[in-house]
Structures are given as C-alpha cells and as structure tokens.
Chains A and B, each alone.
Chain A
C-alpha cells in the first residue's frame, strides 16, 4: 500500500484490520490515577463486567500526593485486554496507562511465607533462604516467617522450594513495576 499522501491508487484488497486478540502473555498495567474515592471501584468494575479476572492489584502513593499508582496484572491469554484498556483510558480519574512490556520494565513483588520449621528442618530452610537472598523475619518454636522480594517467577520458585517443609500460610503483595530508562512510566 502506497503512502496515503500520494495520488497513487489504493486497492481495497490491501487494507488490513487490527482487532482484539488474546496476546497470550501476562500484562502488567501501570495506571496513574487521581487519588479520589471510587477510582479503584471504577477500574475494577470495568474488568468485572466483562468477567475478566484480575490476577494482582496494588495501589499505592506516588511522589505527588494528588496521585496514586495502581499496578494491575491480568492474563492476556485468558482475556482480550485491548478493549478494557481503552475503556480504562476513558475514565476521567485515570491520567495514564502503560501496558508494560516485560523487556522494558522492572517488576517486583514481596511475599511472606510462614513455614513449619522444627530444629531438624530449620537449617535446610535457612539454606534455601540464603540462596534466594530472602530474609527470615520471625522465628517461633515450630515456624519461621520468611520475607522474599523479587520477580514473580522468583517468588513462585521460592514457594515451590519451601512448600515441602510445610506451608502454614502465605501473603503476597502482587507486582509493582516501573519502566526502565529516563522516561516516566
């Protein structure tokens, strides 16, 4: 297809359309919003009415008191997310949305694991903690609580490693992310 600026003939055959497709990957949406009541409900509602499941959601302050950043992950293999992203853009309280490409951003989450640990297994657990550069933040007679920070995959890997010792419970924050380089996320 020629440059539309020229007088060159255009064949309709050559026109192509782009439409909503499942991207097949996890999407990390970084959403800058006004810090006002109801904003989170509006955003969550756009996913809910389409039957989309939000995998993780983190809301926190930014360097500007009037703004908050929401970092949300959703599975692009399960849901076509371009429609919902466009709808998010339309919300008056939403200032900016970035669909962060994995290569162009860093993402981290934190997790706390309460693991069964007696005198016999504690040493082994500490070795795993060491390898993952995690931290033991609480020790009781029968359990330890470990703090892990890292990528989603690292946290998952840690979980797999310590599960056999006996997982009492866990809490994860979900990912937060920023784009690399000088530009703002």
Chain B
C-alpha cells in the first residue's frame, strides 16, 4: 500500500522521467510531498507558463516526454499557452494539474477552474481522475499517448483528495487503448507509387517539416535526397532535418524563406512533403501554391492529408519507416540522374541571382542579420539555439545553419512570444553537454524573463542574446509595409536596462553595441560561467526580407 501520489512517482520513474518543471500550490501539495523523496529532479520555475515551455524545450531537445506540474485554478490556466503551443507543434509533454477536492468540484471553490473543460480543445488527450485506483494506469496511458503517433500534450487533472488515498499499487504492464491505434507502417503500394513518381519527376522538391525531426528520420531523409541529388527545403520547424549548408539545400521556404526555395516550389512538378502540414505561412495564397506540382504527402496524422492541399499520393505512417522503405524502392528503380540537370541549372540560377542579402552598416552599428551571423561564427554553429517570436526568429532561421536535428527550438505553429527563454532552459537541462543559446527580442524576452532567476538558482548556463531594437519589430515591419507606417503601440523604447536586470536576477549582464568587435565580444560573453544575458543593440528599423506578403503567391516575393 502507498499513497496514490507515491504511485505517481513510481510511474514517473518507470517512464524514465529524470526531471520535472513545476510550481506547487494548495491543490497539488500531496504531489509535492511525494516529490520530496522521489529522487526525481525538480526545477521550480517562476511562472507555470515557464514550466510548460521548459518541459517543451526539454522534449524538443531530447525527444523524450517532458513533464510539468501545476496547481489548480490559476496554476492550470497559466499552462494554457504552453499546452496550446505543444499541441500546435506536436510536442510530447505530460501536464499534471492539481484540482480542488471532489466535494468542491463545480462550486467555484477557492482556486477552482474547470481545467479539464478549459483545456479540452488544446490537448491530444486529457484525463480527469475519478478514482485513486486508476491513477497509475492513467499516468502510463498519458505518456504512451503523448509520445506515440503524432506526439502531443496530455493533461491529467487530479482532485487533491483522491491523490492522498492509500492504494494497492501494482506496476502497470502494457497500456491498452482500443480507441487509439496510430498507423505507423506506410502502405507498401503507395510507397512504391511514390518511388516511381519521384523517379519520373523532372522538377522534384523535398519539402520537410517538423514531423521528420519528431520521427527521428533526418538520416533517412538525407539519404533519400543524396541518392539522386533531390533538392531539399525545410519549414521553420524542419530546420536541422537536412544538414545545412549543403549544395542540395535550398534554404527555408515560406513567408521569409529564400527565393530559391519558394521559386522551386512554384515551378516544381512533384513535391514530396514529409511531416509537414502546408501551413498558411508556407503556402501563401493557397490557390496559387505550387500550381504545377503533384504532391506526395507522408504524415503520421491522417487528418493532415489533403487538409489544405490535396495529396496525389498520400502515405500515412511513421516517416522513418516510410522514408527507409521509399529509399529501397527508389534505388530499385535506378532512376536517371541526368533528368534533373535542367532543374538544377534553373535552381543554380535563382541561387546566384537571389542570395539572402542585407545592406551592412558603414559604421559600428550592428545590423540584426549580422548579429545572427556573428553568433553563428562565435558558436561555430555548435549549440542548441532557441528563439522567441518575431524578426529575430526569422533572421535566425535565415542566417544560422543547422547540421543536426533537435538543435533548433521553436514555437512554430502558435508563435508564442515568451517561449524562448524557458524552452532554452528545458533544452539545456536535457542536453547539459551542449551549449544552449536563446536568441530573443527585447519584446519577447519580457514575456517570461522571470525565468532568468530560475537559471541563476539552478546554475543552468543558458546564454540569452537579446536582439534589442526597441520595437515590437515584426509588428512594426507590418505597420510600415501594410499600414502606411502608422506605428501603433510598437515602441518599447529602452527599458528595462537588461544588464541591470540580468544582474538583479543573478545572471551576468553584458551590453554589446559595436559590430567591429562583435564576434570576439560574443565569444567572451558566451564563455562566462553560468547564465548570461547579452543586450545587443541593433539597427532600430530593419525589416526581414525576402517576404511573401500575407495571402500572396511565392512568385510575388518582395525584397
């Protein structure tokens, strides 16, 4: 016999959980009491949203399931954003929320919120504990659902009285969920058909998304591409799935992707979409997206097939499984590489005509693009890079390069400002041997900057680089381009003083303003022990280009 909460700890250990990000409160006191001698590391965040994003960052960097604890009521409502974020980006995280006693449910008790109801549309699945005996089984089901199929967040809401009860704990063997049987094996006939289509394509493009990284299929993807010099582009979420820079690498596609990638999509006769979901930031105007192309769509989620763009050859299943078998089939066809010569000529032309470019300053001013390039140089690209949302994120996607998966930590679908710092913290905890850097903006960082003290408290050596332009940069850019330059509520000005703030939070604070010494200054700052906050002052009004305007087509790219 043991308390249900102690059984939860047994289950967490059985699931291989080594760290929990969380915040205690009244309704999850029993859980925290069990945590006390569970042997599982706990990181006390400063806000539950930070805990949720940290668990996401941990999951993204490690491929394991992240875990976040929060209490009832405000604790639970504070994790709504990370939950939605994890849902949008298919991140495996299990959230445990405390809930008021069962006799208080539905009475507006102190710190009561209908967590189960509020979160229903933003979870892969959720459980409301009805009986203490079901707790161990539910915990294992939650982990199973979070990590398998298309990964996603699972929430377990636990009325506090039920968690204190002594139960006869029996380790749970296999999880049985009759209503949950994700398809992992791709259909062989479809795979064969896809191989033939690629072998017959004259202007193919591989378009890879975050699903490739979730599936651990980067090497299979790369092998397929290299087999026959197939051009590759990735979504924001897919960066790192294919090693860049590389001569077959077209750059990122979409709104702020390269012209080469977007023009290639526009003229392609066959697009091989793998673990990507044809988001509106990729397609632009849907009716003019890749108008000449047929589509092979490989995805673990059948609901993604033909959702936005009708698929000609849909293959539902695990990308690693499918790409491996696709490669075998493709090799068997012995395709003629010369058929792609003309296509590559065309691509090389675009590449030569439209490299990513910006006008560098003539004095010491740091251009934001140069800040990213300098960071790439200072780290030799050998780090985990998380970002927040906005201009800095797009420039990082353009000018930083990733040779490996799980090194680029992003909030792609939801676009959550405030994601970067806590997510980087989670990534750093997951991969202590790698350097972890978060590139943020002066606006984004302020949405969860309280986690700087968490870094200091636990000595988590995340390096925070703030691309400080004094504006909500991306909104400012849109107001400049599409709203006649009427800057409405986008100026952040110069507060706070991030160096002083960093010091107050127990971190090193460094201010950088001179481009001529930037790489060395960054190196020195990155080499400081412990967490460091680098306030890099950049050009105030710089815009991200090239750009497909909202609702425009790829060939109408500007800049």
Question: Which A residues lie at the B interface, using CB under 8 A?
Answer: 4-5, 7, 9-12, 15-20, 33-34, 37-38, 41-42, 45, 49, 82-83, 86-87, 89-95
Contacts and interface: CB of A to CB of B under 8 A. Distances in A.
Contacts of A17: 294-295, 306, 310-312
A20 B306 contact: yes
B35 interface: no
Interface in B311-337: 311-313, 333
A12 B270 contact: yes
A28 to B, nearest CB: 21
Given A5-B189, A19-B306, A86-B302, A12 B269 contact: yes
B178 A95 contact: yes
Contact of B128 (A37, A49, A90): A37
Contact of B189 (A4, A9, A19, A41): A4
Contacts of A5: 189, 192
A4 B193 contact: yes
Contacts of A89: 302-303
A12 B192 contact: no
8 contacts: A5-B189, A15-B313, A17-B294, A18-B306, A38-B126, A82-B306, A92-B179, A93-B179
Interface string B161-197: 0000000000000000111100000000110110011
Given A17-B306, A18-B306, A93-B179, A41 B192 contact: no
Given A89-B302, A92-B125, A41 B117 contact: yes
A41 B121 CA distance: 9
B558 interface: no
A41 B295 contact: no
Given A10-B193, A20-B306, A92-B124, 11 more contacts: A5-B189, A9-B196, A9-B200, A12-B270, A17-B310, A17-B311, A17-B312, A19-B311, A38-B117, A41-B120, A86-B303
B307 interface: yes
Given A92-B179, A92-B180, A4 B192 contact: yes
Contacts of B344: none
B301 interface: yes
A22 to B, nearest CB: 14
Most interface-central of B270, B309, B312, B333 (chain A CB within 10 A): B312
A15 B293 CA distance: 10
Given A83-B307, A86-B303, A89-B302, A10 B200 contact: yes
A13 B371 CA distance: 47
Contact of A11 (B130, B200, B311): B200
Given A87-B303, A91-B179, A92-B177, A4 B310 contact: no
A67 B301 CA distance: 25
Contacts of B120: 38, 41-42, 45
Interface residues of B, number: 39
Given A4-B192, A34-B179, A93-B179, A15 B197 contact: yes
Interface string B186-212: 000110110011011100000000000
Given A17-B295, A37-B128, A90 B310 contact: no
Interface in B398-454: none
B283 to A, nearest CB: 14
Contact of B121 (A9, A16, A37, A45): A45
B358 interface: no
Contacts of A41: 117, 120
B467 interface: no
A184 B169 CA distance: 38
B303 A83 contact: yes
Contacts of B116: 38
B145 interface: yes
B306 A12 contact: no
A97 to B, nearest CB: 11
A90 B303 contact: yes
Contacts of A95: 178-179
Contacts of B307: 20, 83
Contacts of B117: 38, 41
Contacts of B125: 91-92
Nearest to A11: B200
Given A34-B179, A38-B116, A49-B121, A12 B303 contact: no
A86 B316 CA distance: 12
Given A12-B269, A91-B179, A19 B200 contact: no
Contacts of B189: 4-5
Contacts of B126: 38
Nearest to A13: B294
A78 B304 CA distance: 21
A82 B32 CA distance: 45
A37 B106 CA distance: 14
Interface string B222-251: 000000000000000000000000000000
Most interface-central of A4, A37, A91, A93 (chain B CB within 10 A): A4
Interface string B84-126: 0000000000000000000000000000000011001100111
Contacts of A93: 179
A90 B130 CA distance: 23
A10 B196 contact: yes
Contacts of A45: 120-121
Contacts of B179: 33-34, 91-95
Nearest to B297: A17
Nearest to B123: A42
The 5 closest A-B pairs by CB, nearest first: A19-B310, A17-B310, A86-B303, A4-B193, A15-B312
A57 to B, nearest CB: 17
A95 B310 CA distance: 27
Contacts of B177: 92
A41 B123 CA distance: 13
A49 B303 CA distance: 15
A11 B180 CA distance: 37
Most interface-central of A19, A49, A82 (chain B CB within 10 A): A19
B134 to A, nearest CB: 11
A7 B84 CA distance: 46
